[in-house]
Amino acid sequence: MNSSYRYIVVEGGIGAGKTTLARRFAADLHAKLILEEFEDNPFLPKFYIDPDRYALPLELSFLADRYKQLQREVVLSDIFQPQLVADYCFYKSLIFAEQTLHQDEFKLFRQFFFILAQQIPSPDLIIYLYETPERLKQQIIKRGRPYEQNISLTYLDAIQKSYLAYFKFQDDFPILLVDMNGIDFVQNEKDYEFLLSLLDQKYEKGIHRIPGKK
């Protein structure tokens, strides 16, 4: 499998399966895999218990961690590594912070974000896995992380709407908005092959809507 996109990002809401898909893409492309390092974040379980107290330290720690990782893995990547596949984009920090922080905190956060964002390359392609909040919730319950079980449908919907709002004004690279209705790339190999085939096509910059199965 060959793809002309060097830096590919798989995005989606919480529980959309972006890490699983990114792993498979990287294996088939013989690409370097970049996975978000979130499970060791000490503020994450605390945030889900007391969001008002821990939202700002959580978002700042995620911002710092993502910046350091993408600097190391993308900016300073081996020139002999032909392709990169990541399961998040740097802009994710701003999307989540807008939902979790109070207005004055978010204004401060934005200042730090845009200083750092100037030093992180944009992806060459984003694949966004679009799921309904209800299906995301089902998948969150199924994977069983204790600190995620109380995530509300309202929060999942707000995060997804923030992603879509960001994509609407983004014209620096192609974005594939894939409707995952009827697509199960874990259990159905043909569904996975369909998603993999998307990487072999040329797209203009901006949003491209990929329909699901009826």
Q: Which CATH number goes with the domain that contains 180?
A: 3.40.50.300
Domain membership flag for residue 102? yes
**How remote is the C-alpha of 39 from its chain's centroid?**
15
Cβ atoms 100, 58 nearer than 8 A: yes
Q: What angle do CA 10, 28, 14 make, to 5 degrees?
A: 25
Q: Which two tokens stand for residue 143?
A: 């994977």
Domain count, the chain: 1
pLDDT in the model for residue 10:
98
Catalytic residue among 50, 78, 87, 200: 87
Predicted confidence pLDDT, tens digits, the chain (214 residues): 668 899 999 999 999 999 999 999 999 999 999 999 877 788 988 888 898 999 999 999 999 999 999 999 998 776 666 799 999 999 999 999 999 999 999 999 999 999 999 999 999 999 999 999 999 999 999 888 887 888 899 999 999 999 999 999 898 999 999 999 999 999 999 999 999 999 999 999 999 999 987 6
175 phi, psi to nearest 5 deg: -130, 120
Domain membership flag for residue 206? yes
pLDDT in the model for residue 78:
66
Contacts of 119 (CB under 8 A, 6+ apart): 67, 71, 75
Domain membership flag for residue 1? no
Torsion of CA 118, 121, 124, 125, to 10 degrees: -70
pLDDT in the model for residue 214:
62
Domain membership flag for residue 2? no
Domain around 134: 7-210
Domain membership flag for residue 15? yes
Active site (annotated) includes residue 157: no
